[in-house]
Structure 1
Amino acid sequence: MPPAKKRARSYDPAKTRAAVLAQFGNVRAAVRTLTPEQLALPTRLGDWTVRELVAHIGAALTAVDRLLEEPEPVRQDGRLPDWPSAVTADADAIAGTARRLAAGRPDLGAHLDEAERRFTGRLDAHPGGRLLPTSAGALTLADYVVTRTVELTVHTDDLNAAVPGLDVPHDRQALAACTRLLADALAARAPGGSTEVRVPPYAVVQCVEGPRHTRGTPPNVVETDPLTWIRLATGRIAWRDAVADARVSASGERADLGPYLPLMG
């Protein structure tokens, strides 16, 4: 008998919306303190400056507005765990948009204010089941908002890494949703039940083909903290470096996640 199909993880739309707005608010407050010199600093995102990174963070919210302007797909054919891999293919276009926005929005505070206004207005005007044509296929509006927690959480970490002394806080709900979606993306990329990946306190998934564990302590276990997991999943740090620095605990012959990472760039 084939194994039972795993039920997709569900997210509370109200909590997700609140998490996105909380994390966006944290970034917006920090951006108001940045000097022109700090905005010109390089980031770990290739040749992006902090100004371009901030412009992109605003675009993470206005993407909802843009997709709602497109014709609604006739049926849902996308899966939320497939979004991280799908969006990687758009990296060049995303970078170009960030540069154009940074050049055309001298007042970044106003850019972020407008992004939030449009985001909340669109969510108020459309049901969560409204389908959007995303790079991962047609997803519901409610599911696409979950992807915004990934964008905001990851880029908050990028912002903190780029500006010495900056410490933009991570909203707990946004961090949780981001961690869970990236963990589910790993399980989608490396399906199986031989390895248990633990990211306490937010996520536990089974992945990697091989003998399925059913009782007791799993023979293959990977454990790390949420921010380290997010950095691994997005290519900010390499698997071998995280293991060598003891930021990841990996035990068992199938506990090497290096071949499956990063999940998105």
Structure 2
Amino acid sequence: MPPTKKRIRSYDPARIRAAVFGQWGNLREAVRGLDDRQLALPTRLGDWTVRELIAHTGMALSAVSRLLDRPEPARQDARLLDWPFATSAGSAAIADRARLLAEQHPDLDAHLAGIERDLAARLDTHPGTRLLPTGAGALPLADYLVTRTVELVVHTDDLNAAVPGLGVPYDRQALAACVRLLADALAVRAPGGTTEVRIPPYAVVQCVEGPRHTRGTPPNVVETDPLTWVRLATGRTAWRDALAAAEVSASGERADLEPYLPLLT
């Protein structure tokens, strides 16, 4: 998908950094308490175990360091909202790498601690404007950190679904950034102003082609909670299932988002 001309929502770099490390800390605390039986549990991600999912989550954060090791691109040629549509590339290789890391690092907490130390040191020495050669194109470091909130929140939810009673908490700023980026991605995939999508308390976007709403109650409204939205946007929950479970309310002739979901594959 070519770079969008949609106005990019701004994110405070300091808050995003705090959000990334806040959610990472929540995950590390939970991982410390898992035993071998829990680490061997299946997840909803194909044939991945919990151990492999945790290793993959580490990859999501260590990716920042790996990209900083590469030569800096000459110019920015992508926008933050291009990233959600480039996430499926190399999925088989990513799965293989996660399995290998899970085998190589039996002490997952020590492995995750090393990733955290390395990234913190690098972020202290690189400005947010430093360009990274991401799969979506050349993006500033500050923008790429926003995408890490999506990875961390989504995989936190995957872990909570896989391990009964785990209950890893969600950093409020990380969840907010994740929800907003995915909501804005929907507005890119389904441009227009005839449907209002509400994800309180974090985001409201206009989308879907048709007559633009200007005042009063919108004729087409979709509303859901933050985690249900994350699951819909990433394919963890199907649109029809969310409607049937009353996890989404949708009113109006143009309130069907099924053709546009999931956003990440």
Whole-Å Cα distance in 2 between the matches of residues 70 and 188 of structure 1?
30
Alpha-carbon deviations, 1:98-139, whole Å to 9, x = none?
111111111101110011011111111100000111111111
1:257 aligns with 2:241: no
Q: Normalising by structure 2, report the TM-score.
A: 0.97
The equivalent of 1:185 in structure 2 is 185
Whole-Å Cα distance in 2 between the matches of residues 61 and 99 of structure 1?
16
The equivalent of 1:16 in structure 2 is 16
Q: In structure 2, give the amino acid aligned to 1:79.
A: R
The equivalent of 2:152 in structure 1 is 152
The equivalent of 2:218 in structure 1 is 218
Whole-Å Cα distance in 2 between the matches of residues 102 and 6 of structure 1?
39
1:229 aligns with 2:222: no
Q: CA deviation at 1:234?
A: 0.3
Q: In structure 2, give the amino acid aligned to 1:232.
A: L
Aligned residues: 261
Whole-Å Cα distance in 2 between the matches of residues 61 and 79 of structure 1?
20
Q: State how 1:21-170 maps to structure 2 within 5 Å.
A: 21-170=21-170
Q: Gapped runs of 5+ residues in structure 2?
A: none
Q: CA deviation at 1:7?
A: 2.5
Alpha-carbon deviations, 1:19-43, whole Å to 9, x = none?
0101000000100000001000000
Whole-Å Cα distance in 2 between the matches of residues 110 and 136 of structure 1?
31
The equivalent of 1:194 in structure 2 is 194
Alpha-carbon deviations, 1:41-90, whole Å to 9, x = none?
00000010000011111111110010111111111111112211201223
Whole-Å Cα distance in 1 between the matches of residues 78 and 121 of structure 2?
25
Whole-Å Cα distance in 2 between the matches of residues 166 and 188 of structure 1?
35
Q: In structure 1, give the amino acid aligned to 2:144.
A: Y
Secondary structure at the aligned position of 1:9 is classed as coil
Whole-Å Cα distance in 2 between the matches of residues 95 and 6 of structure 1?
32
How large is the Cα RMSD of the aligned pairs?
0.9
Q: In structure 1, give the amino acid aligned to 2:260.
A: Y
Q: In structure 1, give the amino acid aligned to 2:111.
A: H
Q: CA deviation at 1:6?
A: 4.7
Secondary structure at the aligned position of 1:88 is classed as coil
Secondary structure at the aligned position of 1:250 is classed as strand
1:82–1:188 contact (8 Å) kept in structure 2: no
Q: Which runs of 4+ in 1 moved over 4 A?
A: none
Whole-Å Cα distance in 2 between the matches of residues 28 and 244 of structure 1?
35
Secondary structure at the aligned position of 1:198 is classed as strand
Whole-Å Cα distance in 1 between the matches of residues 190 and 75 of structure 2?
26
Q: Calculate percent identity across the aligned residue pairs.
A: 76
Q: Normalising by structure 1, report the TM-score.
A: 0.97
Q: CA deviation at 1:194?
A: 0.9
Secondary structure at the aligned position of 1:116 is classed as helix
Q: In structure 2, give the amino acid aligned to 1:219.
A: P
Whole-Å Cα distance in 1 between the matches of residues 79 and 187 of structure 2?
13
